């Protein structure tokens, strides 16, 4: 990291275009709260070790606290010439309190300073994103409870496959989101070591107490290698990879909302508050928010690629390329957080058409597997039963009938094992209830999963009903 602006070696000012090209304050000023917290912890540690006087520490802490208040209120004036957030804060502090401010950087480099700031910021951002995931989970939990009795076709290859519960499908979305939350939690835990005290690359000769500053900043401990500590950004790669995975999941959810809200499906009516019209066609009601969630996924994937490409050829330790870590990280969090919030609102206000879903169960032969299972339960080898069911599907298709409309005589023409009770097996409610295995769509299993999700949220301090109410979850007839 260049120290040209305040080093003694250089006789010529930095070229104006080079200065503008290298300035990062417009981006990294977002780190100001973390930067100031880190500086306060560093100053207090230096005071405890006798490196700074008590008077200097008091002036530094007081000055930094005042700067933090000004930044929070928007009164602080950022100077692009000061290059980055670190120098803006330090230069302002030194201007106000004199030499005490110039002593703050004792035993510290901007290399370990920015590494610390990024860990602090990213750790907090992970927790904030987890809270937004919990909000979306809360909405889905309440909506799943509302629609426990609603049946719909499940799909494979975008073809109607077997009957399931709408709640079961909503809980499938929850499973994806729970894994995303877990990945962010894991990333936050793994990054929670303090680089402060690593210096530029080889630590420092001053008697720092790294454990003290780490504890004050909420870290679990300190990093173990100064070269790695200042050159490491894989904690950002891991985090943005988790965000990219989450964005892909949100895109898949959004895609299903787009499909379901089409006239071809008609499974859901999106709220006016989360749709837009057409500039030309007055009848249109476009699911634009879901489409934007789907589209913005590419940005988050691009943020991950940007980080990986930036790091792939860097030698240890710090290199100025790493200045480019912040835009993709900030963008990934901003994009995923916004997508989580808009999807929560979209799903909370959507109206599901239970009757349309039920009618869809009567088309596409979603009960064909029930015929095969029926025969298999009577001792017919499943592959043979599968073949019989397939031939009956063709028979029904050619006759313009459903499987349930075939006569017992037509069924027995394919296999003598069919009895009158086969029609009970073809009832969608019976078909779903027979799948009473853990993870299955039977009412008891789905109801238990809804309760388990609610309990998990409650254990995390989340009131799912209150959050769903805040998002305006509607009550459908």
User: Which residues are part of the catalytic machinery?
Assistant: 157, 278
Q: Which residues does 127 contact at the CB level (< 8 Å), separation at least 6?
A: 188
Three-state DSSP at 461 gives coil
Q: Quick check: bond before 317 cis, omega within 30? A: yes
Residue with tokens 């299903």: 256
Q: Which helix (H) or strand (E) holds 352?
A: strand 351-352
Beta pairing partners, 352: 268
Maximum C-alpha span of the chain: 100
| Angstrom distance (rounded) from CA 3 to CA 82 | 11
Q: The tokens of 327 are what?
A: 């835009």
DSSP per residue, 234-284: HHHHHHHHHHHHHHHHHHHHHHHHHHHTSTTT--EE--GGG-B--SS-TT-
DSSP per residue, 139-197: HHHHHHHHTTT-EEEEEETTEEEEEEEHHHHHHHHHHHHHHHHHHHHHHHHHT-EE-TT
| Angstrom distance (rounded) from CA 239 to CA 425 | 48
CA-to-CA separations, 68 to 65, 83, 114, 162, 319, in angstroms, rounded: 5, 18, 17, 58, 28
DSSP per residue, 379-408: T--HHHHHHHHHHHHHHHHHHT--GGGS-H
445-472 burial by CB neighbour count: b if 16+ within 10 A, else e?
A: bbeebbeebbebbeeeebebeebbeebe
């Amino acid at each position: 990291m260049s120290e040209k602006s305040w080093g003694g070696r250089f006789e010529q000012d930095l070229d104006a275009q080079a200065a503008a090209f290298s300035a990062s304050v417009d981006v990294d000023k977002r780190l100001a709260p973390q930067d100031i917290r880190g500086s306060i912890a560093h100053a207090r540690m230096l005071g405890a070790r006798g490196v700074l006087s008590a008077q200097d520490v008091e002036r530094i802490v007081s000055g930094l606290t005042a700067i933090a208040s000004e930044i929070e209120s928007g009164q602080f004036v950022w100077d692009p010439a000061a290059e980055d957030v670190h120098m803006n804060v330090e230069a302002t502090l030194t201007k106000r309190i004199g030499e005490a401010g110039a002593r703050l950087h004792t035993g510290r480099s901007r290399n370990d300073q920015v590494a610390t700031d990024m860990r602090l910021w990213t750790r907090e951002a992970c927790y904030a994103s987890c809270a937004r995931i919990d909000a979306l989970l809360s909405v889905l939990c309440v909506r799943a409870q509302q629609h426990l009795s609603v049946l719909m076709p499940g799909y494979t290859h975008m073809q109607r496959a077997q009957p399931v519960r709408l709640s079961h499908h909503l809980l499938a979305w929850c499973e994806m989101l729970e894994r995303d939350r877990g990945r962010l939690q894991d990333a936050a835990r793994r990054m929670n070591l303090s680089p402060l005290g690593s210096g530029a690359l080889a630590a420092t000769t001053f008697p720092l107490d790294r454990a003290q500053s780490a504890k004050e900043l909420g870290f679990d401990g300190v990093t173990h290698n100064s070269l790695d500590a200042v050159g490491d950004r894989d904690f950002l790669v891991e985090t943005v990879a988790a965000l990219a995975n989450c964005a892909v999941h949100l895109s898949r959810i959004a895609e299903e909302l787009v499909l379901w809200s089409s006239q071809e499906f008609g499974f859901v009516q999106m709220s006016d508050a989360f749709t837009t019209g057409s500039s030309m066609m007055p009848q249109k009601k476009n699911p634009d928010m879901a489409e934007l969630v789907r589209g913005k996924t590419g940005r988050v994937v691009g943020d991950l690629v940007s980080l990986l490409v930036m790091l792939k050829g860097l030698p240890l330790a710090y290199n100025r390329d790493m200045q480019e870590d912040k835009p993709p990280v900030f963008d990934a969090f901003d994009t995923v957080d916004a997508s989580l919030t808009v999807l929560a609102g979209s799903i909370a206000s959507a109206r599901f058409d239970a009757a349309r879903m039920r009618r869809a169960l009567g088309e596409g032969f979603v009960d064909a597997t029930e015929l095969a299972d029926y025969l298999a339960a009577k001792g017919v080898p499943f592959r043979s039963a599968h073949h019989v069911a397939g031939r009956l599907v063709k028979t029904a298709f050619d006759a313009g009938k459903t499987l349930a409309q075939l006569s017992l005589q037509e069924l027995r023409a394919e296999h003598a094992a069919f009895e009158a009770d086969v029609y009970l097996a073809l009832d969608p409610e019976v078909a779903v209830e027979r799948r009473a295995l853990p993870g299955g769509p039977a009412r008891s299993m789905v109801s238990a999963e809804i309760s388990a999700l609610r309990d998990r949220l409650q254990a995390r301090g989340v009131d799912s009903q209150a959050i769903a109410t805040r998002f305006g979850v509607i009550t459908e007839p």
